[in-house]
């Protein structure tokens, strides 16, 4: 039986990993995150508190659990907060990864890590794995530095870069789709940019790709996103369509109107051919993803 350690289990991706790994008899899974307890108290999962930025705690937990595989879903993901609290962002997204790498090397474990489209400057779009990274904000810089720590370490690893992850989780940070749905549901007018273009990714596809990589023994970098390239404005309109909300509540704006602290890359769409070929990755369309979200929200369907 393989031992799997998950970091960041209270987040959107971490919770989905807990859901899909639950009941898998070939794995012994230990879920960990910042908080003292797992957010979903109904879930019968093994959970331990672990701050990956604490070297001593990472060393002692991993040395005692001795995982074969570490799935890292932990990160500081608030882009504007990373811009403001740079030291903290580096500590979470780079130093934390260094700690995981150090211990994985010692016990010969594989590290499967998640990175972002924000490593690119967004000038071109259709980015493939080998394209040149050039982050335009501090979050992107930390995530690129985290990737480089792993790649240069020589440990057994895979890195999944992903984009605008959406889906349902308990007490998770507002993801874009959830923010749209919650506001429209309350009849609140929202402003969405039509000049930021990417491939929204349902969290279930990302978690399944991680599991697939864990089982298929592949290494290296993979671009894992949804199949459709769309602006945030059009994505919001699609969400309103599926959920039956009033589309006139969605106002079209441009990125400078938002006056965000961190610069945003404009077109970070991915070329996912490598994942399709090597992992047989077949992500949901946006319509399928939003329907899954609707079912998850009503508790009818969660797989
Ligand atoms: N969401 C997106 O749109 C998106 C897009 C591209 C890439 N990604 C990447 O995908 C991965 C998963 O993101 P997500 O959407 O699931 O993010 P999330 O919902 O913000 O979850 C991240 C989790 O990591 C935990 N965490 C933060 N620092 C930690 C630390 N030092 N030790 C242990 N746990 C820590 C957080 O706990 P606290 O809440 O307690 O801090 C949170 O539960 C991240 O690597 C992110 O960079 C996400």
Chain segment 255-268, per-residue pLDDT in tens: 999 999 999 999 99
**Closest to 14 in 3D by CA, of 178, 277, 210, 227:** 210
In this predicted structure, what is the pLDDT of residue 302? 40
| Residue 155, Ramachandran bin (φ over 0: left; ψ between -120 and 50: alpha; else beta) | beta
Distance (angstroms) between ligand 1 centre and the Cα of 246 equals 31
Dist CA 260 CA 253 (whole Å):
13
Indicate if ligand 1 lies below 6 Å from the C-beta of 12. yes
- CATH for 2-166+202-226+268-284 is 3.40.50.720
Indicate if ligand 1 lies below 6 Å from the C-beta of 293. no
In this predicted structure, what is the pLDDT of residue 301? 42
Our answer to whether residue 139 is catalytic in this structure is yes
Indicate if ligand 1 lies below 6 Å from the C-beta of 92. yes
Dist CA 180 CA 190 (whole Å):
7
**Closest to 201 in 3D by CA, of 182, 235, 224, 175:** 224
Distance (angstroms) between ligand 1 centre and the Cα of 174 equals 12
> Length of the chain in residues, anyone?
303
Domain boundaries of the chain, sorted by first residue: 2-166+202-226+268-284
Beta bridge partners of residue 193, listed in sequence order: 253
Distance (angstroms) between ligand 1 centre and the Cα of 290 equals 21
In this predicted structure, what is the pLDDT of residue 44? 62
Given the residues 47, 127, 139, 281, select the one marked as catalytic: 139
Q: What is the mean pLDDT of the chain?
A: 94
Token output for 102: 């150090």
Distance (angstroms) between ligand 1 centre and the Cα of 155 equals 22
- Lowest mean pLDDT across 77-81, 215-219, 288-292: 215-219
Higher pLDDT, 88 or 170: 88
When pLDDT is cut at 50, 70 and 90, the band that residue 93 belongs to is very high
Which residue, judged by its Cα, is nearest atom 7 of ligand 1?
A: 116
Distance (angstroms) between ligand 1 centre and the Cα of 111 equals 16
In this predicted structure, what is the pLDDT of residue 243? 95
| Percent above pLDDT 70 for the chain | 97
In this structure, what are the phi and psi dihedrals at residue 12, rounded to the nearest 5 degrees?
A: -60, -50
Best of 14, 77, 95 for a ligand 1 pocket test (most atoms within 8 Å of beta carbon): 77
Residue 303 in this model has a pLDDT that exceeds 70: no
Ligand 1 nearest atom to the CA of residue 117, by list position: 6
Higher pLDDT, 36 or 200: 200
Dist CA 303 CA 300 (whole Å):
10
Indicate if ligand 1 lies below 6 Å from the C-beta of 13. yes
- Consecutive H or E run containing 28: strand 27-33
Residue 128 in this model has a pLDDT that exceeds 90: yes
Higher pLDDT, 45 or 137: 137
Indicate if ligand 1 lies below 6 Å from the C-beta of 198. no
Q: Report in angstroms the alpha-carbon separations of 267 from 194, 200, 202, 214, 283.
A: 11, 12, 19, 30, 20
Q: Which of 86-90, 172-176, 295-299 has the highest mean pLDDT?
A: 86-90
Give the pairing type, strands 190-193 and 250-253. parallel
In this prediction, residues 142-154 reach a mean pLDDT of 98
Give the pairing type, strands 230-231 and 197-198. antiparallel
Which residue, judged by its Cα, is nearest atom 24 of ligand 1?
A: 74
Ligand 1 nearest atom to the CA of residue 143, by list position: 47
| Percent above pLDDT 90 for the chain | 88
Residue 70 in this model has a pLDDT that exceeds 90: yes
């Amino acid at each position: 039986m393989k031992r799997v350690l998950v970091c960041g289990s209270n987040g959107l991706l971490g919770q989905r990993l807990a859901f899909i790994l639950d009941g898998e008899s070939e794995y012994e899974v230990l879920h960990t995150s910042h908080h003292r307890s797992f957010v979903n108290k109904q879930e019968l999962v093994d959970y331990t508190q672990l701050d990956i930025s604490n070297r001593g705690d990472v060393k002692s937990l991993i040395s005692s659990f001795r995982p074969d595989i570490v799935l890292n879903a932990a990160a500081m993901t608030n882009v504007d907060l990373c811009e403001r609290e740079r030291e903290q962002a580096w500590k979470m997204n780079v130093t934390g990864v260094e700690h995981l790498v150090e211990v994985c090397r010692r016990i010969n474990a594989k590290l499967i890590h998640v990175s972002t489209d924000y490593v690119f400057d967004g000038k071109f779009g259709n980015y493939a794995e080998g394209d040149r990274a050039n982050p335009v904000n501090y979050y992107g810089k930390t995530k690129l530095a985290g990737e480089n720590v792993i790649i240069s370490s020589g440990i057994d690893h895979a890195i999944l870069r992903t984009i605008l992850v959406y889906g349902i989780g308990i007490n998770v940070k507002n993801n874009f789709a959830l923010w749209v749905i919650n506001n429209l549901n309350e009849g609140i007018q929202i402003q969405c940019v039509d000049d930021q273009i990417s491939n929204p990714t349902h969290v279930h596809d990302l978690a399944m790709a991680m599991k697939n990589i864990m089982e298929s023994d592949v290494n290296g970098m993979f671009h894992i996103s949804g199949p459709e390239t769309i602006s945030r404005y059009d994505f919001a309109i699609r969400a309103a369509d599926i959920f039956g909300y009033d589309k006139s509540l969605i106002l079209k704006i441009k990125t400078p109107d938002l006056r965000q602290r961190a610069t945003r890359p404009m077109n970070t769409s991915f070329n996912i051919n490598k994942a399709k070929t090597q992992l047989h990755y077949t992500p949901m369309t946006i319509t399928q993803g939003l329907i899954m979200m609707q079912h998850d929200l009503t508790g009818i369907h969660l797989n």
